[in-house]
């Protein structure tokens, strides 16, 4: 089993920008996803006589240093890009708005997959993907479900190197000290200082079974939120 500690948790890449700052990585992701270039966008959006001038303006905006003067409106460009890329969205892709290109957001690492036995298979460094999330989940990492009933669901938690009592009697992620196995489940503390990790129904709250019983923990962390992410940086 892969050792799981703070040394292998790949910290959040923050994108906490001002509302009028353009997020270049959003554009780069869509260009790769739909096999388009910035020049494809320019040719489809502007008159031929304006294209050379717009190449310069857009390049300045996308690549400008932080806090430098504005050469072209970020909001205007975001609206035009959203309109352009919405022509190519596929089944299951969300409709793009201007907030995909500007505004506040964070990016978290997806560090492992959850399987039907309640155990989490952790990724190697080169297997880790990232996904944009609400700014309030900055500092979290995620695990993605590979269970049929919730396939693709990402559960987010804060990486920790100690037992977090705020996760007791909550759904969360833990590591068994002896086996090094990482579990997702309902974290139930016991009077002897050890823990049971329960398979508990979200719908009824009833316990279905025990994933791990009477174990010592290396660390624990509660689930802070969930989402079905549509976009990843590969």
CA distance 101 to 81: 8
Q: Is residue 135 located within the same domain as residue 145? A: yes
Are 117 and 228 found together in one domain? yes
**In this structure, are 34 and 49 located in the same domain?**
yes
At residue 70, the pLDDT reads 52
What would the pLDDT profile of 2-12 be if each residue is shown by its tens digit?
444 433 433 33
Higher pLDDT, 206 or 18: 206
Please indicate, yes or no, whether residues 135 and 216 belong to a single structural domain of this protein. yes
Alpha helices in the chain (DSSP H): 24-34, 38-45, 48-63, 74-85
The residue segments making up the domain with residue 77 are 18-100
Structural domain ending residue among the three candidates 79, 100, 121: 100
List pLDDT tens digits, range 56-74: 989 988 877 655 555 457 8
Helix (H) or strand (E) holding 64: none
Tally of CB atoms within 10 A around 223: 18
């Amino acid at each position: 089993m892969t050792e799981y500690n703070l040394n292998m948790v790949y910290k959040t890449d923050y994108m906490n920008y001002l509302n009028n700052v353009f997020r270049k990585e959003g554009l780069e992701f869509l260009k790769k996803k739909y096999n388009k270039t910035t020049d494809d966008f320019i040719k489809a959006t502007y008159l031929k006589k304006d294209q050379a001038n717009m190449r310069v303006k857009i390049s300045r905006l996308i690549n400008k240093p932080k806090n430098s003067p504005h050469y072209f409106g970020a909001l205007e460009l975001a609206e035009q890009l959203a309109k352009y890329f919405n022509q190519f969205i596929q089944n299951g892709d969300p409709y793009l708005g201007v907030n995909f290109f500007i505004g506040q957001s964070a990016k978290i690492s997806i560090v492992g997959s959850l399987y039907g036995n309640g155990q989490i298979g952790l990724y190697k460094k080169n297997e880790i993907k990232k996904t944009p999330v609400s700014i309030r989940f900055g500092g979290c990492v995620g695990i993605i479900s590979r269970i049929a009933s919730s396939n693709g669901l990402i559960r987010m938690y804060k990486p920790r190197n100690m037992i977090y009592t705020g996760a007791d009697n909550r759904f969360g992620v833990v590591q068994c000290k002896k086996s090094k196995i990482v579990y997702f489940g309902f974290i139930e503390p016991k009077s002897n200082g050890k823990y049971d990790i329960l398979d508990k129904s979200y719908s009824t709250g009833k316990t279905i079974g025990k994933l791990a019983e009477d174990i010592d923990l290396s660390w624990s962390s509660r689930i802070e939120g969930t989402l079905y992410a549509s976009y990843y940086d590969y």
